Amino acid sequence: MRKGFINNIIVIICILAMGFQYTAYSQRINTGYIYFGNKYKYQDAVSNTNNSLDTVYPSYFDIDQNGNLKITQTLDEDLIEDMHDKGVKVVPFISNHWDRELGRKALSNRYNLANQIAEAIEKYDLDGVNVDIENVTDADKDDYTDFVKILNEILDNDKEISVAVAANPNGWNYGWHGSYDYEKLAIYSDYIFLMAYDESYIGGPEGPVASIQFVENSITELLKHVDKDKVILGIPFYGRYWKEGESYGGHGASLKRIEETVSKYPSDVVFDESSKSVKATVSKEDGTYVYWYENEESIIEKLKLVEKYDLKGSGSWSLGQEDKSIWNYYSRWLDGEYLVDIYDHWASDSIYSMIDNEIMNGISNMYFAPNDNLTRAQAAVILTRLLEIDDVYITSDSFDDVSKDYWAYNEIELAKKYGLINGKEDNKFYPNDPITRAEISAMLSRLIEDDYSDDNIKFNDVNDNIWSYEYINKMSSMNILKGYEGDMFYPNRNLTRAEMSTIVDRMLKHNIEYKK
């Protein structure tokens, strides 16, 4: 039993006995393997991550032909010290690099190997070990589990033990997948690193490395055996490619190299909506190649699963293969903030309020477009969501320029039915036109029950001769729409999506009553 376990139990019992409520708090973590290159490449790999990592798994531990520990030439005490100064754990991974016989040598020598690992952790001031023995079989399951158990017994409890396991969406219990006793491994380790990739593989048919279905099914299968607080979702920083006309393909390539190739040669790049992966068809001098790989959008889709299933965090194979620009945003993605254009925006709080209340959405998975003009169609959609009348379907064709296949047809018809909007000349609505501050004042005035107005509110550019005077007066009196410096309202100025977010957010905070 690892040192400190009994003490932890005693502390919890004392807390409960004193009448305090014990609440567990789980914060997501971000981890990454480092494998390719020399120790200087390792330094570059971690320095590019913009302080986004909690733990690194460098390739410091190998296995020799007798199953003993072999320290690799990449071990770098300066890097270890630097990571510790930044609060990052250094947990080397030990691997047989897919060599089955070498893996079995290690497991048969597990008592000696575990003690050698413990000595190396102490000697080099490391923070634990990540076990990554792959391609052994169900015949080795008990030895594999016992190896992790031995590590659990001899390492101090402040040292991390994590185990990398194969994605197993089908629940296979034979072959390589059968080598993992997930439930017991979870007992003896701190984290289970789910290698949710290699759906396609070298020598196999063309397809994504990690389709969203493959990843999600792998998660749900693992969660049958392992608590969510112990699961780290592995994300591939590589892709695979096939040359048309050749029977053998699926060669691996880093995301960085693939992006360079796609930029260099004529390429047809599409985001496959079914798999939530990227496919590129690239024309080179010697033929046509098909690449399947990850980009920011596909990585976000995978990180959404971390949030959906409330997993412990994410990890990557492997650092240095990615486009380093993703580290500008990765920590926010892991925290469930996916829209990259609102992080430092002046209206970010109101925009998040709109998203949380399902009143406004982004224009894509990655962008909200806060500074874009709000269109008249988007305004109609927002009004119907505020009234919660989106479940009614209308087919009255109120406007000649809004056809049944228009994306906001139903909401525009509903807004018209409830008297919230009017068209313009010639029975047209002009759905794609930007909406002005005067127009939104009119729409919101029709929506809001209160008829309060204050004749003392004056704007230099608003008087009772303009069509929207009463509407602007009402919205300003209720402090929903505000003016600018110099007592100006700018009624004909276009309204941005960010400004609409702040307006609706004020309405939500003031518990505005709507007409029914």
Is 293 within a domain? no
Considering 195, 230, 257, which residue would you say is the last residue of a domain? 195
Assess if residue 326 is contained within a domain. no
Tokens for 133, please give them. Answer: 């023995």
Judge whether 297 lies within some domain: no
Residue that the structure tokens 């309405």 belong to: 507
Which residue numbers are catalytic?
134
Q: Under a CB-based contact definition with an 8 Å cutoff, are residues 355 and 341 in contact?
A: no
pLDDT digits over 221-269, tens only?
999 999 999 999 999 999 999 999 999 999 999 999 999 999 999 999 9
The pLDDT score that the predictor gives to residue 394 is: 67
In the chain, which stretches have pLDDT less than 70? 1-26, 390-394, 451-456, 516
Burial of 62 (0-12, 13-18, 19+ CB in 10 A): buried
Contact call for residues 103 and 135 (beta carbons, < 8 A): yes
Q: How many domains does the chain have?
A: 2
Residue tagged 């985001």 (tokens): 271
In this predicted model, what pLDDT tens digit does every residue of 44-58 receive, in sequence order? Answer: 999 999 999 999 999
Task: Decide if 271 is inside a domain.
Answer: no
The DSSP result for 400-458, as a single string, is TT--TTSTTHHHHHHHHHTTS---BGGGB--TTSBPBHHHHHHHHHHHBS-----TT--
What was the pLDDT predicted at 322? 97
CA distance 86 to 319: 17
What pLDDT, on the 0 to 100 scale, is given for residue 7? 45
Domain assignment present for 118: yes
CA dist., res. 292 & res. 202, Å (int): 12
From 148, 178, 195, the end of a domain falls on 195
Judge whether 498 lies within some domain: yes
SS3 label, residue 454: coil
CB-side exposure of 439: number of CA atoms within 13 Å? Answer: 25
- The residue among 145, 170, 195 that closes a domain is 195
User: What's the pLDDT at 457?
Assistant: 73
3-state SS class at 317:
strand
Of 155, 140, 135, residue with least CA distance to 107: 140
Distance, CA of 186 to CA of 178 (rounded, Å): 15
The distance of Cα 160 from the centroid of its chain, to the nearest Å, equals: 24
The DSSP code sequence of 4-61 is THHHHHHHHHHHHHTTPPP------EEEEEE-SS-HHHHHHHHHTTTT--SEEEES-E
Whether 500 is covered by a domain: the verdict is yes
**Calpha distance 144→276 (Å, rounded):** 34
State both tokens at 167. 């994605």
> Is position 407 within any domain?
yes
Task: Give the Cα separation of 377 and 275 in Å (integer).
Answer: 30
What range defines the domain where residue 67 resides? 5-195
pLDDT digits (tens, 9 = 90+) for 400-434: 999 999 999 999 999 998 899 988 878 899 999 99
Q: Which DSSP letter does residue 326 get? A: G
Q: Tell me if 117 sits within 8 A of 151, measured CB to CB.
A: yes
440 Cβ neighbours under 8 A, 6+ residues apart: 374, 379, 481, 495, 500, 503
Residues across the chain:
516
CATH (domain of 74): 3.20.20.80
